[in-house]
Amino acid sequence: MSIAIQLPWNTVHRTPTMPNPGDRVLELVDVGVSIGERRILDGVNLDVRAGEVLSLVGPNGAGKSTLLNAITGDVPLSDGEITLFGLPALSWDATELAMRRSVLLQSVDVTFPFSVDDIVRMGRSPWEGTAEEMDDDMIVESAMTMTEVMPLADRVYTSLSGGERGRAAFSRVLAQAAPILLLDEPTAAMDIKHQEMLMRIGREYAAAGCAVVVIVHALDAAAAWSDRVALLEHGRLRAVGTPEEVFTSTMLSDVYQCPIEVLPHPGGGLIILPKRPAITRHVYGEHHGFPDAARANLARLSGLSGQGVS
């Protein structure tokens, strides 16, 4: 559902200018969302500045996606106000919004057999009919190169692995070339290399003057790559600040209801780990290679206690 204003096709849209570092590009004032009887978000105050990476973290069900969807206008507010570039979010039309913020949703249903190239090009649609359109090919190529999806360009999007889809969807977000990036668990299906790649690109965009809001579960990645982190708990912002301020053992253990250790990394930054019990590790067989393990397994399965299996 989109509640942005739809204007006739020939309306001249207000194109954005790149904000200056530190400009408040997004402001949430006392934002509340209720769905039916349920209070999903309550009293959320947050501002986001050009030039920063802000990671939004919190347990499952805390309201992170709802908060992002409220910012995009896909979830109506029950209370409060959201401003984008100093104006109420709803005063921008859909194209003007798309020129200002690009969004990667947690789940996207694609049923038509679009190629990866098609998907990335969709990011350019807000710029159709503007001077920016001339750069479409260059921008699409650069977005695909940065996210390492060039080799996948002709593949059907739905045939990709989860992590590959994540990269293609992120590539589409970059191709949109908007100064605010809103990313809902973009790294969820990515391997560690691509998770780090995505966060590094987020930082590069922030360094170029964009504002990046990213929902992540990997607390160590959030700590390493973010200027600030916002910790959401039961629909309320429990803490906002630098990773060192927010990610304390006491705070994280309390919010996640799970004992969590936070240690300084010798090279700077934080190591964040669940406190785990010592385990007794069993490694069967004299040799640890596959053939011995397979033989032991076969023996157990066949009930032969090793006899007859060599």
Binding residue (CB under 6 A) for ligand ADP from 51, 63, 123, 126: 63
Site for Mg ion in 88-127 (CB under 5 A): 106
Distance CA 86, CA 29 (A): 12
Burial of 211 (0-12, 13-18, 19+ CB in 10 A): buried
> DSSP for 9-37?
TTPPP----PPPTT-EEEEEEEEEEEETT
Indicate if the alpha-carbon torsion angle 73, 79, 83, 89 is positive or negative.
Answer: positive
Binding mask 261-290 for ligand ADP (x = CB under 6 A): ------------------------------
Taking alpha carbons only, the member of 269, 238, 102, 103 closest to residue 177 is 102
Binding residue (CB under 6 A) for ligand ADP from 18, 35, 258, 271: 35
Site for ligand ADP in 42-61 (CB under 6 A): 58, 60-61
Residue 62 interacts with, from Mg ion, ligand ADP, none (CB under 5-8 Å by kind): ligand ADP
Binding residue (CB under 6 A) for ligand ADP from 55, 66, 95, 171: 66
Distance CA 264, CA 226 (A): 16
SS3 93: strand
State the minimum distance, in angstroms, from the CB of residue 64 to Mg ion. Answer: 5
Distance CA 301, CA 46 (A): 58
Distance CA 232, CA 213 (A): 14
Binding residue (CB under 6 A) for ligand ADP from 1, 9, 10, 38: 38
Q: Is residue 65 involved in binding Mg ion (CB under 5 A)?
A: yes
Q: Which residue, 54 or 143, has its beta carbon nearer to Mg ion? A: 54
The number of residues that bind ligand ADP (CB under 6 A) is: 11
Any residues with CB less than 8 A from the CB of 270 and at least 6 apart, and which?
220, 223, 224, 243, 244, 247, 262, 263, 264
Q: Which residue, 38 or 287, has its beta carbon nearer to ligand ADP? A: 38
Q: Is residue 69 involved in binding Mg ion (CB under 5 A)?
A: no
State the minimum distance, in angstroms, from the CB of residue 233 to ligand ADP. Answer: 10
DSSP at 277: -
The CA dihedral of 15, 16, 18, 23, to the nearest 10 degrees, is 170
Distance CA 69, CA 96 (A): 17
Q: Which residue, 143 or 199, has its beta carbon nearer to Mg ion? A: 199
Contact predicate 23/50, CB 8 Å = yes
The number of residues that bind Mg ion (CB under 5 A) is: 3
Position of minimal CB gap to Mg ion:
65
Q: Is residue 72 involved in binding Mg ion (CB under 5 A)?
A: no
Residue 192 interacts with, from ligand ADP, Mg ion, none (CB under 5-8 Å by kind): none
Q: Which residue, 65 or 147, has its beta carbon nearer to ligand ADP? A: 65
Q: What does the block give as tokens for 139?
A: 């921008």
Q: Which residue, 66 or 147, has its beta carbon nearer to ligand ADP? A: 66
Q: Is residue 64 involved in binding ligand ADP (CB under 6 A)?
A: yes
Q: Which residue, 106 or 248, has its beta carbon nearer to Mg ion? A: 106
Distance CA 132, CA 187 (A): 29
Residues forming contacts to ligand ADP in the complex (CB under 6 A) are 35, 38, 40, 58, 60-66
Residues forming contacts to Mg ion in the complex (CB under 5 A) are 64-65, 106
